[in-house]
Structure 1
Amino acid sequence: MSTRAAVADARLVVVKVGSSSLTTAEGGLDPARLDDLVDAIAGRRAAGSQVVLVSSGAIAAGLAPLGIARRPRDLATQQAAASVGQIVLGHAYVASFARHSLRVGQVLLTADDVVRRSHYRNAQRTLTRLLALGAVPVVNENDTVATDEIRFGDNDRLAALVAHLIGADALVLLSDVDALYDGDPRLGPARRITEVAGGSDVEGVRAGTSGASGLGTGGMASKLAAARLASAAGVPVLLAAATDAVNALGPAEVGTAFATAGRRLSSRRFWLAYAADSTGTLTLDDGAVAAVVRDRRSLLAAGITATTGDFVAGDVVELTDQSGNVIARGITNYDAPELPDLIGHQSHTLPTSRRREVIHADDLVPLAHH
């Protein structure tokens, strides 16, 4: 099945929309744009699919009511705008979806909710139950409490994480750009890329880091990163303009399609690979890199050449090769202070209590093929 057919036939779809696609140039919510998006989602629902909407726009929606002219740079004012804007945005969605007799449930997530395994499972259960009850979950980052240190950074990455979290069959990223280009089409000639089958198709793409309107935090760089993250984990992706939402959520004949690049990871392995925070690094010799990546074996102390970070047993750490490239992530069985006396030693030369694997194969996710 082609990627576009997979998106068109998906039973469970995550749709992400950016701030610039929901707001006016002055910064307030644009009811007509929001209604158009909701109409497209309602159409997909009527065709038999379940939809989760990941919506930006809370900060932008809070600016006008507070008399703020442009997106604030300081965190406190952003959070104040978000606290007003979440209600404005939520109310707008409730009213708009009500035109189709659909109920809405708001789900506000922080990065912590995805990073911590127990929170991850809880978010999963909440979203699954909302869908089972027939509601349309509207997900947003909880900007009112997120700090710079624990932000997703943009809702594109959040959407990719949510897509895997709930086992979505497709991810549709809607923005103010109609496709992926190899440069910024506003700055001169740029080649439109309609199909991405693998990493070589996006080599040389120069992607900007902020939206055209200045109202969002995304930009093409974050959309490209989110699309590659989702497709690498087995979720097909369509990137299209919000103004093409009806087609994007219908026959999917617009925008850029990203083919899946691998088997769908289990929820736990996806969390380990992409969502969890890492608290340290283990550097491996060439033999250990081959054992972990190619042979999918456990990591033993003998293959480690150095460690950095302050981690404890049960924490997620990154594994790097001798050049510093991250080749895997895993859950360590040791505290950081225990390892210096063990690294480089064969297991049979260690005390019996220290012969267990540093990271068991079941707790390891190779990343080299991404």
Structure 2
Amino acid sequence: MKRIVIKVGSSVITETTDIAKERMLNLVGLIAEARKKYEVILVSSGAVAAGYTAVQLNRKVPTSKKVLASLGQPILMSAYKNLFDIYDVTISQILLTEEDFDSRVHTQIVQDIIARTLRNDILPIVNENDISTTPDQLFGDNDQLSAHVAHHAGADMLIILSDIDGYYDSNPKDNPKAQIRKVVSNINENELEQKHTPNSEFASGGIVTKLKAAKYMMENNLEMFLCNGYDLTSAREFLMKNKHNKGTLFTTKKL
């Protein structure tokens, strides 16, 4: 059975003042379906945004952002548990930082924990532990965290569910004729120097962080698929039917 990592962004599962319940239910339904075909690891953003639904602190203040994360983690996990209970899926929470991948000992611990949860038919839900850590201990965005999780956990592919349909040949906000690049086999440095443009107040990255994640995956001979998380049609077709109608596949393999 292939192993995949599904990463979902804050903008997909939360709204300004609440959890996006319908989108979250659709996500959970897709994951429950995908688990019949794959071993699935979920990397979920959304703790800070979920915390903001309870208390409206200024997330631009570092300590306030950590408080929001501490508030939001149980809110987010409670929402996931209630929805996954519908499908009789047991979940666990794993909080990681960049330091968990900086030594053989730390990485082995993470690998063993994830492997054991999967062997016991548990869905691991991973997020960055940004509550008690310093900035230099963090990835700063879950796109790159998910790529490292995919590589070190022995996954075959990373699926990033975002607020965009894929990677365009130009900015679709500026160019109405912009086209999705269905397959990307190389990312140059100029692409990695684009301006970060997260669409959500609570998002920590933009297209650049996704490109960095894709580059890391391809450097390790793995694949990444970027698609829309609001409408999961593309993700479902790609994962369950092997159909690539929309979205961008980052791969070094010859198709």
Residues 1:62 and 2:54 aligned together: no
Deviation (angstroms), 1:86 = 0.4
Deviation (angstroms), 1:137 = 0.3
User: Contact 1:21 / 1:175 at 8 angstroms: preserved in 2?
Assistant: yes
Rounded to whole Å, the distance in 2 between the matches of 1:215 and 1:57 is 8
Aligned partner of residue 137 in structure 1, secondary structure: strand
Out of 180, 183, 186, which is 1:195 matched to? 183
Residues 1:49 and 2:38 aligned together: yes
User: Contact 2:187 / 2:211 at 8 angstroms: preserved in 1?
Assistant: no
* 1:274-313 superposed matches below 5 A: none
- CA gap 1:171/1:75 in 2 versus in 1, 3 angstroms: same
Aligned residues: 248
Residues 1:19 and 2:7 aligned together: no
The unaligned stretches of length 5 or more in structure 2 are none
1:311-367 Cα deviation digits (max 9, x unpaired): xxxxxxxxxxxxxxxxxxxxxxxxxxxxxxxxxxxxxxxxxxxxxxxxxxxxxxxxx
**Equivalent residue number for residue 28 of structure 1:** 18
Rounded to whole Å, the distance in 2 between the matches of 1:44 and 1:53 is 11
User: Contact 1:107 / 1:137 at 8 angstroms: preserved in 2?
Assistant: yes
Q: TM-score, normalised by structure 1?
A: 0.63
1:33-53 Cα deviation digits (max 9, x unpaired): 11111111111112x211000
Residues 1:147 and 2:171 aligned together: no
- CA gap 1:204/1:133 in 2 versus in 1, 3 angstroms: closer
**Greater relative contact order, per chain length (Cα 8 Å cut-off, separation 6+):** 2
- Bigger shift: 81-90 or 212-221? 212-221
**Equivalent residue number for residue 171 of structure 2:** 184
Rounded to whole Å, the distance in 2 between the matches of 1:121 and 1:204 is 33
- CA gap 1:27/1:213 in 2 versus in 1, 3 angstroms: farther
The unaligned stretches of length 5 or more in structure 1 are 1-9, 263-370
**Equivalent residue number for residue 216 of structure 2:** 229
Aligned partner of residue 14 in structure 2, secondary structure: coil
Amino acid at match of 2:161: L
Amino acid at match of 2:13: L
Deviation (angstroms), 1:232 = 1.5
Rounded to whole Å, the distance in 1 between the matches of 2:83 and 2:145 is 24
User: Contact 2:115 / 2:153 at 8 angstroms: preserved in 1?
Assistant: yes
Rounded to whole Å, the distance in 2 between the matches of 1:248 and 1:205 is 26
Deviation (angstroms), 1:203 = 6.2
Rounded to whole Å, the distance in 2 between the matches of 1:33 and 1:80 is 25
- CA gap 1:127/1:204 in 2 versus in 1, 3 angstroms: closer
Residues 1:114 and 2:105 aligned together: no
Rounded to whole Å, the distance in 1 between the matches of 2:29 and 2:248 is 22
Rounded to whole Å, the distance in 2 between the matches of 1:220 and 1:64 is 26
- CA gap 1:92/1:204 in 2 versus in 1, 3 angstroms: closer
- Bigger shift: 248-257 or 96-105? 248-257
User: Contact 2:84 / 2:90 at 8 angstroms: preserved in 1?
Assistant: yes
- Bigger shift: 52-61 or 235-244? 235-244
Rounded to whole Å, the distance in 1 between the matches of 2:181 and 2:136 is 34
Amino acid at match of 1:19: S
Rounded to whole Å, the distance in 1 between the matches of 2:4 and 2:93 is 17
Rounded to whole Å, the distance in 1 between the matches of 2:253 and 2:64 is 40
1:265-309 Cα deviation digits (max 9, x unpaired): xxxxxxxxxxxxxxxxxxxxxxxxxxxxxxxxxxxxxxxxxxxxx
Rounded to whole Å, the distance in 1 between the matches of 2:160 and 2:39 is 16
Rounded to whole Å, the distance in 2 between the matches of 1:215 and 1:183 is 24
Deviation (angstroms), 1:147 = 1.6
**Equivalent residue number for residue 256 of structure 1:** 248
Rounded to whole Å, the distance in 2 between the matches of 1:206 and 1:39 is 36
Q: TM-score, normalised by structure 2?
A: 0.91
- CA gap 1:59/1:205 in 2 versus in 1, 3 angstroms: closer
Over alpha carbons, which structure has the higher Rg? 1
Aligned partner of residue 65 in structure 2, secondary structure: helix
Q: Percent identity?
A: 35
- CA gap 1:228/1:29 in 2 versus in 1, 3 angstroms: same
Rounded to whole Å, the distance in 2 between the matches of 1:78 and 1:204 is 29
Rounded to whole Å, the distance in 2 between the matches of 1:12 and 1:207 is 31
